[in-house]
């Protein structure tokens, strides 16, 4: 079996501290390294559209809602894991680019609803295909069955962490 840099690190720890079980650290280091690589890959995939990853996240959250592709600003912040202040800045940028629009919330006069424009919908529909293509390329060495298994294991870890939070 081929080894990687993480195996080298764990091997060094095994030599220095043979009583330690470093298997968990091997998983965590690899996931952290993959996260950094996947963020770079996602950003590169979106470059042809002139979209930043944070813009993709907002447009994606709106597009996934189905027609009319809109969310209250607070719901949009929740869906993207952002504070309301950060969301305001992101919506400002997207609105300047003509990808989203704001309107007063009819049900809550203090609130704002953010929706995709036609241009925003076209952009996110192209962007999701680029992201899927890039993700498929990143996982080309992993079979479909292995992808499902890996997703299930990562979901299990994620849900256990959610319970602790």
Q: How far apart are CA 93 and CA 119, in angstroms?
A: 14
* pLDDT-derived band at 107, boundaries 50, 70, 90: confident
Residue 154 to residue 50: CA distance in whole angstroms: 31
Average pLDDT over residues 88-113: 90
What value does the mean pLDDT take over residues 30-50? 96
pLDDT at 4 over 90: yes
CA distance 51 to 42: 10
Give the integer Cα–Cα distance in Å for 161 and 125: 32
Pick the CATH number of 5-164 from 1.25.40.80, 3.40.50.300, 1.10.10.10, 3.50.50.60: 1.10.10.10
Query: Region 104-121: what's the mean pLDDT?
Result: 89
Residue with tokens 């069955």: 145
Number of C-beta neighbours around residue 136 at 10 A:
10
pTM, entire model: 0.85
């Amino acid at each position: 079996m081929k080894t990687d840099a993480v195996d080298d690190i764990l091997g060094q720890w095994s030599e220095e501290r043979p009583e330690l079980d470093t298997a968990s650290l091997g998983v965590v280091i690899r996931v952290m390294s993959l996260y950094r690589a996947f963020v770079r890959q996602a950003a590169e995939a979106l470059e042809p559209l002139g979209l930043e990853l944070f813009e993709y996240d907002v447009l994606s959250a709106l597009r996934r809602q189905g027609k009319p592709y809109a969310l209250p600003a607070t719901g949009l912040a929740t869906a993207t894991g952002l504070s309301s202040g950060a969301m305001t800045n992101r919506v400002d940028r997207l609105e300047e680019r003509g990808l989203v629009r704001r309107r007063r919330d009819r049900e809550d006069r203090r609130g704002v609803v953010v929706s995709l424009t036609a241009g925003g919908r076209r952009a996110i529909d192209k962007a999701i295909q680029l992201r899927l293509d890039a993700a498929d390329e990143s996982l080309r060495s992993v079979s479909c069955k292995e992808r499902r298994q890996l997703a299930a294991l990562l979901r299990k870890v994620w849900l256990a962490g959610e319970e602790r939070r």
